[in-house]
């Protein structure tokens, strides 16, 4: 029998199609199916550390908890500092400690979903890790993603982190009460967001004064 052996150092290429995003996307679809079957809308809040994600979610919980069943997942590298005040309002909260992870993924969100009572819930607000890059690549199964930016992040923050906005349905420009002191134009930030994605909804807001919060509450319950 004739056998042929490849000579040393002969190099072969073979195609091996394998998506590195698929594993997370599959889990995200499973999360979405579970949420849909319970009639729950999940909204994922992304944004930089200090943009006001936690404060915004806390304010929304206070506004909405009487009207519909609300739960919150807080993503943070460590601590329950954000989750405790929300839990004190009597809603279900899961603190997702990613330890060294820079983003939430569909796997940890799926685990958190298995840890709460889903019946009776209508709205799940998921706070992603404070990071403007990594979370963009990891859908969680939410119905909409909202980016929270603030005027204290400087005039070029949208321009510096374009990826985060491409997959988002809405952008909250927070801390507008500080815009004048910071010398930041809210309109210019909104224009930057629209340069990336013309139909994205932009809501200027202040969690301190309450400006824009009714509009955000109406939006998250209508996704």
Give the residues lining the site for another protein (CB under 8 A).
5-21, 23, 102-103, 105, 133-134, 136-138, 156, 159, 162-163, 166, 194-200
Q: How far is the CB of 135 from another protein (least distance, A)?
A: 8
Give dist(CA 114, CA 108) in Å, integer: 10
**Least CB distance to another protein at residue 201 (A):** 11
Nearer to another protein, 1 or 12 (CB): 12
For residue 197 the two structure tokens come to 């994605």
CB nearer another protein, residue 4 or residue 222:
4
CA distances from 159 to 45, 131, 149, 162, 201 (A): 19, 15, 12, 6, 17
Tracing tokens 């042929």 back to the chain, one arrives at: 4
> Closest approach of Cβ 16 to another protein, in Å?
5
Residue 15 or 66: which CB sits closer to another protein?
Answer: 15
Min dist. Cβ of residue 207 to another protein (A): 27
Handedness of CA 82, 86, 87, 88 (dihedral sign): positive
Closer by beta carbon to another protein, 110 or else 162? 162
CA angle, corner 71, sides to 39 and 57, nearest 5?
A: 120
Cβ neighbour number for residue 182 with a 10 Å cutoff = 15
Contact by Cβ (8 Å): 222, 204 = no
**Cβ atoms of residues 77 and 129 within 8 Å:** yes
Q: Give the nearest distance from C-beta 56 to another protein in angstroms.
A: 24
Nearer to another protein, 157 or 176 (CB): 157
């Amino acid at each position: 029998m004739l056998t042929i052996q490849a000579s040393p150092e002969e190099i072969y290429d073979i195609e091996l199609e394998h998506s590195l995003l698929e594993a997370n996307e599959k889990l995200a679809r499973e999360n979405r199916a579970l949420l849909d079957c319970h009639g729950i809308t999940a909204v994922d809040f992304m944004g930089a550390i200090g943009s006001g994600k936690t404060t915004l979610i806390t304010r929304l919980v206070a506004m909405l908890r009487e009207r519909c069943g609300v739960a919150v997942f807080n993503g943070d590298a460590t601590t329950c500092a954000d989750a405790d005040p929300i839990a004190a309002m009597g809603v279900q909260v899961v603190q997702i400690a990613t330890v060294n992870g820079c983003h939430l993924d569909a796997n940890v969100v799926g685990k958190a979903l298995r840890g709460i009572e889903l019946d009776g819930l209508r709205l799940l607000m998921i706070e992603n890790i404070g990071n403007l890059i990594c979370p963009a690549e990891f859908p969680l199964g939410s119905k909409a993603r909202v980016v929270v930016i603030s005027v204290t992040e400087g005039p070029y923050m949208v321009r510096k982190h374009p990826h985060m906005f491409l997959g988002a349905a809405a952008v909250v420009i927070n801390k507008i009460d500080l815009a004048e002191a910071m010398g930041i134009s809210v309109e210019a930030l909104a224009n930057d967001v629209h340069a990336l994605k013309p139909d994205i909804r932009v809501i200027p807001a202040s969690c301190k004064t309450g400006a824009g919060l009714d509009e955000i509450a109406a939006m998250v319950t209508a996704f």
